[in-house]
Structure 1
Amino acid sequence: MAQNNQPIFQTKPQEQFVQIPINIERDSTTLMSQTGNSNRKPNHWPTIIISIIFVIVGQSIAKLLENFYYDQINRSEYDESRQNDGVWTQALLQTVGFPLLLLPFIIFITKNKRSRHQQPPITSDQIHYKSLAVIYICIGIIMAVQGRLAAMGKLEIPFGVFTLIYTTQLFFTPIFAAFINKIKFNRWVVISVILAIITGALTLSSSFGGEPDEAEENYARGAWAALFAALCFSLLLCNIQNVFDSYIFKRTELTTRKPSFASVFEVLIFSSLVATIISIVGLLIAGEQDDLKREMNEFSKGKGSYRMVMVGQAVSWQIYWVGIVGLVFSVSSVLSNVISVITWPIVSVLVVIFFNFMDDDIDVLKGVALITAVLSAVAYFFRLHKENRMAN
C-alpha cells in the first residue's frame, strides 16, 4: 500500500500547481511591490501592448474628430450665450458607444465558461453583487461628471492653460492610488510619473478647434472645471483598480480561475450605462437636442459628415476606454494615467498635420514632449521588466 501511494503524492500535487493559475499568481512577485494585493494578474506583455495601442489610437482619433467637429460648426461665431453649447453632448460621446463592447464581452464570457471544470458554486454574498452594483453606479457618475467638466473647461480657457491644469491628474492619481489601492512606489515609477508630468506640461503649445476668443474666456470657471475634471479622472482610475482588486480578482480566486479580460468589458459596460443615462438627462435638461439639429443643418461638410464625426467619436472613445481600463487591469491605475498623458504630444502633432489652428506648428516644446513621453514609458516598462525577471 505504501508503494502504491508514494507515486500519487509525488506527482499529483505538482500537476495541480501547474494547472491552477491562481497559485502562479500568488507565487509571482510581479506587481506586488506596487500593490498590496497578491490576487492581481501578473504583467502580461501582449495585453499591455495591445492596451497601449488602443489608448493611442482611440485618443488620437477621438481628439482629431473633436477638433474637426468644432472647426466645422463655426464655433468662433457663437456669442456668450452659446459659450458651453454641446458640453453634455461631448460627455455623452465618451460613453454612449458602450453597446459595441457587448459582443467581445459575450465572446470572452463564453470562452471562460467552456474552460471551466467543475467549479465550486458561488453565492451572491461571496461576489458582493450589491456592493459591486453601487460601485459601478459611482464610477458611472464620475465618468459623466468628468466628461462634462473637461468639455466645459476647454471652452472656457485657452487650451494651453487647460492642459497645464489638467496635467494635475498625475499628482492626484499617485495620491489616490497610495490610499485607495495601497500601491507602493519605487524610484522607476516615480521617475516615470515625473517625466509624464513634464510631458503633459510641455503640450501647452497645442491648439484646439473649440478654443474660446478673449471675450469668451472665463478663467475662474474654466480653471475650476479643468482641475475637478483632472481630480475626477484620477479618482475614476483608482476606483476601477479597486473594483479589480477587491471584487473581481477575489471572485476569480473563489472559482480558482485566472482573471479574464472580460472583466474590463464588464466594468466599462455597466459604468458607461450609468454615465450615458446621466449625460442624456443632462443633455435634455440643457436643451442641447435642439443644438444638435441646428449643428447638423449648419455643418460645413454636410449632414452625412456630421453623423460620421459623431459616430466616429463614440467608437474611438470606446477604443480608448478599453485601453485605459485594460492597463488598470494588467498593471495599475498609475501606468494607465501615465500612458494617457504621454499620448498628448502625439495628438498635438497630429492636430498640426491635419489642421491649421492659429498657425500652429511643430515647435521645440512638442519635440521635447515626445522625447520625455518616450522616456516616461521606458522608465515604467524597465521596472515592469525587472519585476518579471524577479518573478521568473
Structure 2
Amino acid sequence: MDSIKRKYLMLFNSVLLAIGATGGPLLLRLYFVRGGKRIWLSSALGSVGWPILILPLSLSYIFKRGGGGENGRVKFFTITLPLIIFSAFIGLLLGLNDYLYSHGVSLLPVSTSTLIMSTHLAFTAGFAFVLVKQKFTPYSTNAVVLLTVGAVLLGLHSNGDKPINQSNRDYYFGFFLTVGASVISGLLFPIVTAVVASLFCVVGMITNNDFKAIPRESKEYELGEVKYYLVLEAIAIMWQIYFVGTAGVIFCSTSLLAGIITAVILPVTEILSVVFYHESFKSEKGIALFLSFWGLISYLYGDYRENMKLKKAQKQSLALERDENLPPLTNLQ
C-alpha cells in the first residue's frame, strides 16, 4: 500500500474511531438513564453486532478474487489454528471488558466513566512497550503524560458528578469496575474477535434470565418500546464502528496512536454529555480539553519529524548507492 492510500485509510479509520468512541458511551448511558437495567444485555451489545461486518468482508473477498490474487486464487479461509486460539483468548478478554465497562456505566455518569476509560492510554503505552517493543520519542511520551494528567485532573473532582440517590458504595464499585475495563482495554489495543466475546456475554444473559426480561423491560422503557430496540441496535452498531476504527488505526500506525485518539475524544464526549444529559462542566474539564489537544498535536508533530528523518535517510542511502554504481573515472591521455 502506497503512502497516499495509507494516509486516506488512516484518516477514514480515525473518523470511525472518533464516532464510535463518542457515540458508544452516550448511547449506552441513554439505555440506563431511561430505564434499562440489564447489565449482561448491555455487555453483549459491545460485540454482538459483529454480523454487520460480514458485508464489508464479503466485498473485500470479492474484490481480491476479481484481482486474481496469487496464482489466480484467493483462499476463502486464511486463519490458522494458532490464530483461532489466540483470537478466542482475545475474545474472552473483550467479553470481560464489555461486562466491566457496561456495569460501570450503569453506576456512573458518562463524564466520569469516559474519564476513567481514558486512563487506558497509560496502560496501552505500558503494554505496547512490553509486548510489541513500542518505540517512544520525547513527543509521544509528552503526549501520554499530558493526556493522562488531563484525565487525573478530571478525576480529582469527579465525585461531584455522583448521581442523586446513589450510595457511595455503588459509586466506587462502578469506579473500580471501569478501572478494570480500562486495564483490559489497554491490553487489548496492543494485541488486537467478536464471536467468543459475544458468547461470553450471551451465557451471562442466559444465566441472568435477560432474554425473558427484555420484552418486559421494553414495555416499561421511558422512550417507548420501539425506541428501546432502536437504542439497543444503535449501541451495537456504534461499538462495531469503534472496533473497526481502532483496528484500522492500529493497522495503519500503532496501538499507541489508537489510544491517544481515544483519549483526545474524551473531552468531546464530556461536552456532549453536558448537552444531552445536563451533566456539570467545570473549569477542570476545560483544562483537560486543552491538555488533550496539546497532547495530540505533540504526538503528531513528533510523528511528522520521525517521518522526515526517515525520508532523509532513505534519500541519502539512495544517493550513496548511485555514487557507488557510477563507473570509475579514467584519466584522458
- Residue in structure 2 matching 1:375, options 284, 291, 294: 294
Partner in structure 2 of residue 288 of structure 1: 210
Q: Does the Cα contact within 8 Å between 1:156 and 1:216 map onto a contact in 2?
A: no
2:143 counterpart letter in structure 1: S
Query: 2:201, 2:101 → 1: CA distance?
Result: 13
How far did residue 108 of structure 1 move? 1.8
Q: Does the Cα contact within 8 Å between 1:48 and 1:326 map onto a contact in 2?
A: yes
Query: 2:233, 2:80 → 1: CA distance?
Result: 33
How far did residue 59 of structure 1 move? 2.2
Any residues of structure 2 matched to 1:24-173 within 5 Å, and which? 44-73=6-35, 85-116=37-68, 118-119=70-71, 129-156=80-107, 162=113, 165-173=116-124
SS at match of 1:57: helix
Partner in structure 2 of residue 311 of structure 1: 233
Query: 2:211, 2:69 → 1: CA distance?
Result: 51
Q: Does the Cα contact within 8 Å between 2:65 and 2:73 map onto a contact in 1?
A: no
Query: 1:193, 1:208 → 2: CA distance?
Result: 26
Higher mean C-alpha displacement, 277-286 vs 360-369: 360-369
- Residue in structure 2 matching 1:225, options 152, 168, 177: 177
Q: Given the superposition, is the C-alpha separation of residues 59 and 122 from structure 1 closer, same or farther in structure 2, using an over 3 Å criterion?
A: closer
Query: 1:117, 1:155 → 2: CA distance?
Result: 48
- Residue in structure 2 matching 1:362, options 258, 263, 281: 281
Q: Given the superposition, is the C-alpha separation of residues 59 and 324 from structure 1 closer, same or farther in structure 2, using an over 3 Å criterion?
A: same
Q: Given the superposition, is the C-alpha separation of residues 185 and 294 from structure 1 closer, same or farther in structure 2, using an over 3 Å criterion?
A: same
2:303 matches 1:384: yes
List per-residue Cα deviations over 1:159-183 (Å, max 9, x = no partner). 6765565444222212211121111
Q: Does the Cα contact within 8 Å between 2:146 and 2:291 map onto a contact in 1?
A: yes
Q: Does the Cα contact within 8 Å between 1:87 and 1:148 map onto a contact in 2?
A: yes
How far did residue 316 of structure 1 move? 1.0
Query: 1:212, 1:154 → 2: CA distance?
Result: 15
1:294 counterpart letter in structure 2: R
TM-score normalized by structure 2?
0.82
SS at match of 1:379: helix
Q: Does the Cα contact within 8 Å between 1:156 and 1:217 map onto a contact in 2?
A: no
Q: Given the superposition, is the C-alpha separation of residues 130 and 72 from structure 1 closer, same or farther in structure 2, using an over 3 Å criterion?
A: same
- Residue in structure 2 matching 1:186, options 137, 144, 150: 137
Q: Does the Cα contact within 8 Å between 1:173 and 1:234 map onto a contact in 2?
A: yes
Query: 2:79, 2:21 → 1: CA distance?
Result: 33
Q: Could you tell me which runs of 5 or more consecutive residues in structure 1 were left unpaired when the two chains were aligned.
A: 1-20, 25-40, 76-84, 241-270
2:206 counterpart letter in structure 1: L
TM-score normalized by structure 1?
0.70
Q: Does the Cα contact within 8 Å between 1:142 and 1:236 map onto a contact in 2?
A: yes
2:26 counterpart letter in structure 1: L
Q: Given the superposition, is the C-alpha separation of residues 387 and 109 from structure 1 closer, same or farther in structure 2, using an over 3 Å criterion?
A: farther
Query: 2:212, 2:139 → 1: CA distance?
Result: 51
List per-residue Cα deviations over 1:183-241 (Å, max 9, x = no partner). 1211111111112212333444679999573337336643442232111111111111x
Q: Does the Cα contact within 8 Å between 2:20 and 2:238 map onto a contact in 1?
A: yes
Q: Could you tell me which runs of 5 or more consecutive residues in structure 2 were left unpaired when the two chains were aligned.
A: 312-333
Q: Given the superposition, is the C-alpha separation of residues 42 and 186 from structure 1 closer, same or farther in structure 2, using an over 3 Å criterion?
A: farther
Q: Does the Cα contact within 8 Å between 2:111 and 2:269 map onto a contact in 1?
A: no
Q: Does the Cα contact within 8 Å between 1:345 and 1:369 map onto a contact in 2?
A: yes
1:55 counterpart letter in structure 2: L
Q: Does the Cα contact within 8 Å between 1:156 and 1:212 map onto a contact in 2?
A: no
Q: Given the superposition, is the C-alpha separation of residues 211 and 136 from structure 1 closer, same or farther in structure 2, using an over 3 Å criterion?
A: farther
Higher mean C-alpha displacement, 364-373 vs 310-319: 364-373
Identity of aligned residues (%): 23
How far did residue 337 of structure 1 move? 1.2
SS at match of 2:167: helix
Q: Given the superposition, is the C-alpha separation of residues 140 and 365 from structure 1 closer, same or farther in structure 2, using an over 3 Å criterion?
A: same
Q: Given the superposition, is the C-alpha separation of residues 89 and 212 from structure 1 closer, same or farther in structure 2, using an over 3 Å criterion?
A: farther
Q: Does the Cα contact within 8 Å between 2:64 and 2:74 map onto a contact in 1?
A: no
SS at match of 1:384: helix
Query: 1:199, 1:67 → 2: CA distance?
Result: 23
Q: How many residues align?
A: 309
Q: Does the Cα contact within 8 Å between 1:199 and 1:342 map onto a contact in 2?
A: no
Query: 2:25, 2:14 → 1: CA distance?
Result: 16
Query: 1:363, 1:193 → 2: CA distance?
Result: 23
Q: Given the superposition, is the C-alpha separation of residues 211 and 148 from structure 1 closer, same or farther in structure 2, using an over 3 Å criterion?
A: farther
Q: Does the Cα contact within 8 Å between 2:95 and 2:200 map onto a contact in 1?
A: yes
Query: 2:97, 2:164 → 1: CA distance?
Result: 20
- Residue in structure 1 matching 2:253, options 322, 328, 331: 331
Q: Does the Cα contact within 8 Å between 2:249 and 2:255 map onto a contact in 1?
A: yes
Q: Given the superposition, is the C-alpha separation of residues 388 and 133 from structure 1 closer, same or farther in structure 2, using an over 3 Å criterion?
A: same
